[in-house]
Amino acid sequence: MLTFYYSPGSCALASHIALEEAGAPFTLRRIDFSRAEQKSPAYLAINPKARVPAIVTPRGVLTETPAMLAFIAQSFPDARLAPLDDPFAFAQLQAFNVYLCSTVHVAHAHRMRGYRWADDPAAHLAMQKKVPQSVGQCYALIEQKMLKGPWVMGEQYTIADPYLYTLAQWLEADGVDAATIPRVADHRARMKERPAVKKAIAEELAG
């Protein structure tokens, strides 16, 4: 049995959806950011980075969304969530997920988490001001060069799809006009109809 630690509205939704798609047995455990529970001694013992998501497995803890998504795909191969027998195709998939993690999510984080990279409140404002442009450039590249369609990697639905969907929740708040990236917007709309997505979102709101 796995225990999945999340916070609603966070990037944890990607792994949560993947667990649902895989039919994985897991227990949900909400970390309450409004009470700074991610910095509590109990949670720091699980994830010293003080972030979500984290999965506690019988063998230990896993963190970092791209690593967790690959773990879910490899642990539940019948769900066919990644091209596990093709190192090149698997690397293309992982490159997409790592781009989301290290570039798209990072650009987004400069809107609300500027304190990670500067102490000056004026610098935080300067960062917020650039988010529509920096996040917008990421999505323009995804729209034009990366999203194969209908799913991220083409005909096969993979672990890249819930991750793109999760980050694309934040487009409007980041000041990006979804009408300028119609293929990403269409992907988001189709993802919303999947039973695993509906179930994961309902569970997070109820949790």
- Vertex 22: Cα angle to 53 and 142 (nearest 5): 65
Q: Is 78 in the site for a second copy (CB under 8 A)?
A: no
Q: Is 162 in the site for a second copy (CB under 8 A)?
A: no
Q: Is 83 in the site for a second copy (CB under 8 A)?
A: no
Using CB under 8 A, count the residues that bind a second copy.
Answer: 47
Site for a second copy in 32-71 (CB under 8 A): 48-49, 57, 59-60, 62-68, 70-71
Least distance CB 64 / a second copy (angstroms): 4
Q: CA 75 to CA 72: how far, in whole Å?
A: 5
Contact mark string toward a second copy, 103..142, x via CB under 8 A: x-xxx--x-----xxxxx-xx--xx-xx---x------x-
Closest CA to 124 of 112, 137, 136, 114: 114
Assign 3-class secondary structure to 115-163.
HHCCCCHHHHHHHHHHHHHHHHHHHHHHHHHHCCCCECCECCCCCHHHH
Question: b/e per residue, 103-132, with b = 16+ CB within 10 A?
Answer: ebbbbbbbbeebeeeeeeeeebeebeeebb
Q: Is 187 in the site for a second copy (CB under 8 A)?
A: no
36 or 202: CB nearest a second copy? 36
Least distance CB 49 / a second copy (angstroms): 7
Q: Is 156 in the site for a second copy (CB under 8 A)?
A: no
Bridging pattern class, strands 2-6 and 26-30: parallel
Interface with a second copy by CB under 8 A: which residues? Answer: 48-49, 57, 59-60, 62-68, 70-71, 74-75, 87-88, 90-92, 94-95, 97-99, 101-103, 105-107, 110, 116-120, 122-123, 126-127, 129-130, 134, 141, 145
